[in-house]
Structure 1
Amino acid sequence: MNNISKVGTNRLGDRYEFTSELADANAILVRSARLHDIELPKELLAIARAGAGVNNIPLDRCAESGIVVFNTPGANANAVKELVLCGMLLACRDIIGGIDWVRANSDDPEVGKKAEKAKKQFAGCELAGKTLGVIGLGAIGAAVANAALSLGMRVLGYDPYLSINAAWSLDRNIKHVTDVNELYSNADFITIHVPATADTKGMIGADEIALMKRGAVVLNLARDVLVDEQAMAEALDDGHIARYVTDFANPASTNMRNAIVTPHLGASTGEAEDNCAIMAVNELKDYLENGNIVHSVNFGAVDLGPIAADGRIAVFHHNAQGMLGKITQCVADSDLNIENMSNKSRGAYAYTLIEVSGTPEAANTVVEKVAQLPDVMRVRTIARV
């Protein structure tokens, strides 16, 4: 539904065909197209977002229909990391003001000589020796934190949901704080890398800003709703916050004093678009061909590898007590043999993937029985190719 890099879509191969009719689609590849107001096809099995944020996709409606929604965490991490570093450099040294001065004086034959005097008004500070606070230590936050250490900065990291994989990726010299207020009060630069949820909306407000050092710099390349923009504008006006760097242009941010606003450039590199497309296509193919779920935002991760037996039965159901026993009983009552199985729940929803050996007729019988069970939303069979 958007322009997806051919480096990714070429990986689909001859067994896949693109359609211009949404009603015919079994899967959707999307970037920013809004799907909330669109009637999703009954045959739709999956949506892959070539990027991390999924605010444009109706996750609950998809879950209730057994439609798996994938994203591509980490695929654009390097691109965003580099823009964060760029934002910090632009904020601590008035590079933009200096460039504007040179352009304004470009016709002056003495521009070089006068620049030596004018440059004092654009002088700033260095990043080395300053303290960076990173809120959210996922793929992007961890990359930013590690890079900042290489620049000679002291780094504080805060993430109450820090995963084991993320922890392993962090340099041991990064201090992990358990109280975000400690980060607010000690950091010279604060950068946010968390998803937009009901809990994180407006997480940087007047109270949080009041805890920050006078002259601190705040960077937001995650989502605009994470920052209370009225409170930020007031803090910029009185000089409590020296600079606000945001990647989200809107009437509020573009009119803030001392704000540096970029037009959502975070993941806008050729490399990031290629990486996101490759990951999204790989996720779709593995699910459609094997039933495996990796990097889904509405169902738990299940990975049985490539199909080794005759096929698989994939069941989407509510996370209700006794469901696994009811499903396996349907299989046991047929002529199918369970070779492998995995079940994962995520909130109110669960996914069960069963690898079986037996005839397609027996598998179809099981599907009919399972589909009639209470709390089952969807059942599909996947044959080994």
Structure 2
Amino acid sequence: MYNVKTYNAISQAGLDRLTNNYQVNKTDDADAYLIRSVDLHEAEFPKNLKVIARAGAGFNNIPLDRVTKAGIAAFNTPGSNANAVKELVIAMLVASARHMFAVANFSAKNIHADISLMKKTDDRFKGTELLNKRLAVIGLGHVGSLVANAANDLGMKVTGFDPFLSSDAAWNISNQIERAASMKAAIQDADFVTVHVPKTKETTGLIGAEELKQMKDGVHLLNYSRLGIVDNQAAVDALDAKKVASYITDFGDKVLYNREDVVVTPHIGGSTEEAEANGSIRGANIIMKYLETGNVKNALNLPDLNVPFNTPYRLTLIHENIPNMVGQIATKLADNDLNIEGMSNAAKDKTAYTIIDLDQEPYEDLVNELTQINAVIRVRIIKNQK
């Protein structure tokens, strides 16, 4: 029986995918965590914890270095909320073009005013259309590619820029969307700029004072990636200078409050019933696959290794990516008279992962012996349930 502990409100759709081999929130000494946005940086992890699945794209709430050193596999579910974020971004593009929030607030505060007269004297009541306006999409992954395609369908002129664009993502982008060779080329003529990149050391502060200077006057800026991708103080300075017409973001910051030219939505980009169900279902499937087979695909801290499980038993080892590790492991198995039916190994940066299939049950003491090999982080024995 495997134990799963959840944090945040996890959609029941995912929990319903767990088989009878799993129980949920019965113990803190769990085999798996299924989480959303809970901050785990200060968390104490139980020794039994083997896998963390984040039901969502962002993973800056997981301390990857510490998790890896503890031999815990970490996964996210990129794309599970992509459509939800895309729809909100498109709504915000329309809202910014039509000054929707400013005029709605005016109406709420001036319920008896003659709006037909106000439209003649107040430019806020006269917006623009998205048709033929230029949109720069920075980041063309799961969300960015959907936003780019949807904006193109609305008749916008779309320019995309992503120095890390994968071949898979490229296939999802309409050939009508222009590919910019640089950030400057993407943003310099844009009426609207929206960012959709993961938060890393390289992307923190991606849109700062220098990038804002390169944009045309009156640009509308949107950030539905992560807090810190846009330098909020630089954005406020650009708003004060009338360089930026409006700034719309999903991430609160005190420097943004009480401004009519800023709209802050309360981190709701992926908060739809469908997105939360998609993330929890994918998270549950990841947990079951990893715990029951040891196979890995698209982990945050382990290499891909997907091996058919056709033998009665399997050993998995997380270890440092240094020479002679596989040789030491194989020697230890031979010393215990265990015949290796199959062995696979892969590495990701400084971490390696090895799967060994066996036709007989390994001794429990073997785990201790293998763990004692220098640079071995974690050893698991998995019994084939088929």
Give, as a single letter, the amino acid of the residue that structure 2 aligns with 1:351: Y
Q: Normalising by structure 2, what TM-score?
A: 0.92
How many angstroms apart in 2 are the aligned matches of 1:121 and 1:190? 20
Matched letter for residue 3 of structure 1: A
**Counterpart secondary structure, 1:225:** coil
Instruction: Return the structure number with greater helix share.
Output: 1
Gaps of 5+ in 2: 1-6
Residues 116/220 of structure 1: CA separation in 2 closer, same or farther (3 Å cut): closer
- Judge which range, 322-331 or 43-52, deviates more: 322-331
Is 1:301–1:344's contact at 8 Å kept on the other side of the alignment? yes
Q: What is aligned with 1:17?
A: 23
1:330–1:173 distance in 2 versus 1, CA, 3 Å: farther
Query: Aligned pair 1:141/2:144, yes or no?
Result: yes
Match of 2:12 among 3, 6, 10: 6
Residue type of the alignment partner of 2:106: W
Change (3 A) 1:135 1:329: farther
Q: Is this contact kept in 2: 1:327–1:370, CA < 8 A?
A: yes
Q: Quote the residue 2:55 is aligned against.
A: 50
SS state at 1:17 partner: strand
- Matched with 2:94 is 89
- Output the aligned Cα RMSD: 2.0
- Verify the 8 A CA contact 2:313 2:361 in the aligned structure 1: no
Query: How has the CA–CA distance of structure 1 residues 115 and 20 changed in structure 2, closer, same or farther, with 3 Å as cutoff?
Result: farther
The yes-or-no answer on 1:375 pairing with 2:375 is: yes
1:262 CA displacement? 0.7
Q: CA shift at 1:377, angstroms?
A: 0.4
Q: Is the 8 A contact 1:72 1:279 kept in 2?
A: yes
2: CA distance between counterparts of 1:195 and 1:177?
A: 19
Q: Does residue 319 of structure 2 align to residue 317 of structure 1?
A: yes
**Structure 1 residue matching 2:247: 3-state secondary structure:** strand
Residue identity opposite 1:182 in structure 2: A
Residues 35 and 58 in structure 1, CA contact (< 8 A), matched pair in contact too = yes
Verify: 1:284 aligned to 2:290, yes or no. Answer: no
After alignment, is 172-181 or 63-72 more displaced?
Answer: 172-181
Residues 200-219 of structure 1: CA deviation (Å, up to 9, x unaligned): 11111111111111111111
Aligned residues of 1:314 and 1:379 also touching (Cα < 8 A):
yes
Q: 1:37 aligns with which of 36, 42, 45?
A: 42
Question: 2:119–2:125: 8 Å Cα contact kept in structure 1?
Answer: no
Q: Distance in 2 between matches of 1:191 and 1:117?
A: 31
Match of 2:384 in 1: 384
SS of the residue 2:22 aligns to: coil
Shift of the 197–27 alpha-carbon distance from structure 1 to 2, 3 Å rule, reads: same
Aligned residues of 1:316 and 1:349 also touching (Cα < 8 A): yes
Q: How does 1:1-385 map to 2 (within 5 A)?
A: 1-22=7-28, 24-107=29-112, 121-256=124-259, 258-305=261-308, 307-361=309-363, 364=364, 366-385=366-385
Asked if structure 1 preserves the Cα contact closer than 8 Å seen for 2:30 and 2:46, the reply is yes
Which amino acid in structure 1 is aligned with residue 340 of structure 2?
I
Q: CA deviation at 1:45?
A: 0.5
SS of equivalent residue, structure 1 residue 226: coil
Shift of 1:104: 3.3
CA contact (8 A) 1:137 1:157 kept: yes
* CA apart distance, 1:249: 1.4
Q: Deviations over 1:289-323 (max 9, x none)?
A: 11012231111222224x21112111000111222
- The structural deviation recorded for 1:185 is 1.1
Identity of aligned residues (%): 43
Q: Distance in 1 between matches of 2:118 and 2:125?
A: 10
Count of matched residue positions in the alignment of Structure 1 and Structure 2: 379
Kept in 1: contact 2:338–2:362 (CA 8 A): no
Distance (whole Å) between structure 2 residues aligned to residue 221 and residue 322 of structure 1: 45
Does the CA-based 8 Å contact 2:293-2:382 persist in structure 1? Answer: yes
Please list the CA deviations of residues 163-184 of structure 1 after superposition, one character each: whole Å capped at 9, or x if unmatched. Answer: 1211111112222223111112
Deviates more, 1:60-69 or 1:294-303: 294-303
Asked if 2 retains the 8 angstrom alpha-carbon contact of 1:98 and 1:119, the reply is no
Deviations 1:172-199 (A, max 9, x none): 2222223111112122211111121222
Q: CA shift at 1:330, angstroms?
A: 3.1
C-alpha contact 2:250 2:264 (8 A) present in aligned 1: yes
AA in 1 matched with 2:42: D
Aligned to 2:3: none
CA shift for structure 1 position 112: 7.3
Q: Is the 8 A contact 1:72 1:295 kept in 2?
A: no
Deviations 1:316-351 (A, max 9, x none): 001112222332333344444434433222221111
CA contact (8 A) 1:135 1:192 kept: yes
Distance 1:323 1:275, change over 3 A: same
Structure 1 residue 118: Cα displacement:
7.2
Structure 1, gaps ≥5 residues long:
none
Query: Could you tell me how far apart the structure 1 residues matched to 2:203 and 2:190 are?
Result: 20
Relative to the length of structure 1, the TM-score reads 0.92
After superposition, the C-alpha distances for 1:244-265 in whole angstroms (9 at most, x for unaligned) are 1111112112244511211111
- Decide whether the 8 Å contact of 1:8 with 1:277 is kept in 2: yes
Deviation at 1:100, TM superposition (A): 2.6
AA in 2 matched with 1:157:
G
